[in-house]
Amino acid sequence: MTWRLQGDRWRVVLVVVLALPLLAWALSWVLHGWIPQGDEAWIALKTQDVFSAHPPLQGMRSTSDLQWTGVWAHHPGPIEFYLLAVPYAVTGFHPVGLILGCFLLAVALIWLAVEHGWAAGRSNGVVVVVLAVVGSEIMLGPSLVLPWNPWPAVLGTVTLLVLAWQLLLDKLSALPWFVAVASLVLQANLALLPVVLPLLIVLAVVGLLRWHERRSAIWPLPGWGAVDRPRVWRRPGARAVAVGVACWLPAVVELFEVTPNNASQLWALTTRELAGPLHLVAAALLVVACCWAARRIAPQSLTARSAARSVSGCLATGVLAALAAGGTRRLGYLFMAFGAVLFAAAARRDRWPMRQRLSAVPPAGWAAVGLTIALCIGPGAPMALSFTRGELRSTTRAQPVPGAVRQELRADGVRSGAVVIRGVGAQGWASYAPAVVAFLAAHGYTPYFDVAWGHPEDDEYRRIRNAPADAVQVTVGDDGVPVVKLPAAG
């Protein structure tokens, strides 16, 4: 980069430039009156529950029951709800708080990627990060600031690869950040597990081998080779363990609070996916190949180029493993790894001849280009992406429904208390009813509802069978017109 800025300021400016399209999209969603509906409404409700007596212990529901009868697996954890909780609460549980939280999370991931990209590969490292982030913004656009659980993983996978690059270069200060971002990515969606699994195996084996080489001991034993060890709280490993415990604590608590727990369902899903000798042999070969690759990498003093290529190879192996395990049904989920694939592809190049010309353009010029593209593909724009158009249609249809329900309740003198919400019809059940539930919960009511899920969950207390006898009954159909039924007098 040749921007004439002093010290580290140019990287701050770069992060701001990359974040400007996200800011434009966030403001656009707010101006269009975006509200959480469908899955995003359940995310809003779970996020609000972080500050309740029943904090969330499970991630979002997966589609495992559609693929395998009798398997009811959630995604591995609820970390997204906790990350969005403070912005959502600060705004009084207004939808803008979710948009703000998603925007801040995306900016934090970009900042981490830029900083560690510079530390790992200097200007070339920053170039590949910029290509991955810009490519993700162009291809997925305004969706990146929405709370649907796959979206944070898009930039999360990019940052994860950058931090893995640092770890292969033996820069252990990146380890706590790696654990945090890996937790975010893994808990976002089960489809990402096979994608990042080869990378995790390689890093784990490399770490174990390097520990043994330097200390003549098996991890976590300190051995005799350790000298001048810092205090515990300054060690990257100790910090990484603390971060991991914090990120996975709700999922651990869920093991003892919900029966059957999610771990049992994930195990059932895994055994179904690997059923048959061919799949088992393929999985075993994958593990052996990863361990062999790690054994070759560990003793070497890697260059930035070779470490980046190793990370790229791990990702390519993971993508192929995901496709081999899930077939074409997994292809649609791989958009979450789109930015990571761009990063991996770009990292394999040795030189970027156009780098000097591109960096000669002042930041204001790139900011103008970014904002122009953002406005062209934003909500309501003629070139809006298909994801964006679909979300805008859904939220536009759902916008008047929660307000209409509250208006009916207030007209009947019900300003708080228990309300049973039922959705009738596909639209009423999948979109309107969740929107009403999240809206009423944010406005002082206690909603009760049922879901099409075969096992108990961490919010069972909200099921209709647990509602008090004097709860108000609300039914919402596909027409969006609420029907309110007050409890019988006496």
pLDDT of residue 374: 84
Identity of the residue numbered 444: G
Tell me how many degrees the CA angle 88-92-94 measures, rounded to the nearest 5.
65
Split at pLDDT 50, 70, 90, the class of 326 is: low
For every residue of 89-157, DSSP letters joined together read HHTTS-HHHHHHHHHHHHHHHHHHHHHHHHHHHHHHHHHHHHHHHHHHHHHHGGGGGS-STHHHHHHHH
Domain boundaries, the chain: 9-376, 399-485
Task: Say if residue 128's pLDDT is above 80.
Answer: yes
What residues form DSSP beta bridges with 473?
420, 485
Split at pLDDT 50, 70, 90, the class of 327 is: low
Alpha carbons within 13 A on the beta-carbon side of 249? 8
pLDDT of residue 124: 85
| Number of other residues whose CB lies within 10 A of the CB of residue 130 | 22
> What is the pTM (predicted TM-score) of this model?
0.94
Closest CA to 474 of 407, 423, 414, 416: 423
pLDDT of residue 360: 62
Q: Which residues contact 245 (CB under 8 A, 6 or more apart)?
A: none
pLDDT of residue 357: 56
Q: Is 421 helix (H, G, I), strand (E, B) or coil?
A: strand
Question: From residue 430, how far is each of 39, 150, 304, 457 by CA, in Å?
Answer: 8, 18, 48, 18
Split at pLDDT 50, 70, 90, the class of 65 is: confident
Question: What would the mean pLDDT of 14-33 be, rounded to a whole number?
Answer: 94
What's the mean pLDDT when you consider all of the chain? Answer: 90
Length of the chain as a residue count: 490
Least confident span in 91-95, 384-388, 480-484: 384-388
Tell me how many degrees the CA angle 116-349-183 measures, rounded to the nearest 5.
35
CA 187 to chain CA mean position, Å: 7
Task: Say if residue 230's pLDDT is above 90.
Answer: no
pLDDT of residue 345: 86
Least confident span in 301-310, 327-336, 453-462: 327-336
**Highest averaged pLDDT of the listed ranges 62-76, 350-364, 462-476:** 462-476
pLDDT of residue 113: 96
pLDDT of residue 226: 54
Q: Phi-psi bin for 237: left (phi > 0), alpha (psi -120 to 50), beta?
A: alpha
pLDDT of residue 490: 55
pLDDT of residue 259: 94
pLDDT of residue 28: 95
